[in-house]
Amino acid sequence: MSRIGKKAVEIPSGVTAAIDGGQLSVKGPKGTLAMPLSDNIKYEVGEGSISVQPANSTREARAFWGMQRTLVQNLITGVTEGFTKVLEITGVGYRANSQGKTLKLQLGYSHDVDFAVPEGIEIKTPDNTTIEITGIDKQKVGQVAAEIRRWRKPEPYKGKGIKYRGEYIFRKEGKKK
């Protein structure tokens, strides 16, 4: 039994959910999101909540149960509050600047890195060393953060690079004489 899957997903006021054509679509104040439905899971949209149950007693249906409930919860959270990831840049001369639909990164290469911001994602740079990525789709926000971080991952000796806020970088001791 899935402990997460047993709980119904609450639908706050101002949010509507509907199932049609094998998709669950959720509309809220920040926008509309849709998710394809799994055949192994039974979804029921009721008064003020969405319940997720396994359609049969196979191992695969039980394995998907909790994950599918979490995906539905992410849709609801996305259209009401949205998701944010914050990246921090550490290193001498490393900085970021948001210019419209382009993020310009200076990361110690011989050239600047221009990152095109995808549709549905907003990137802000409150200062030179902080990047805030916001959007309503949790998967898209995480993917964009990972792609930006991939340009210069934090290294273990000085900790230089792009890291998530709150991420712990395991530090190594340098050479000894």
- The answer to whether residue 2 scores a pLDDT higher than 80 is no
CA–CA gap between residue 130 and residue 134 (Å, rounded): 13
Instruction: For the chain, give every residue range classified as CATH 3.90.930.12.
Output: 3-80, 83-164
Domain 3-80's class? alpha beta
Q: Rounded to the nearest 5 degrees, what angle is found at the Cα of 49, between the Cα atoms of 77 and 5?
A: 80
Packing angle of the helix pair 59-80, 138-149 (nearest 10 deg) = 90
Q: Are residues 163 and 171 in contact, defined by beta-carbon separation less than 8 angstroms?
A: no
Model pTM score: 0.89
Taking the domain 83-164, which CATH number applies? 3.90.930.12
Per-residue pLDDT band at 1 (split at 50, 70, 90): low
Is the pLDDT at 86 greater than 70? The verdict is yes
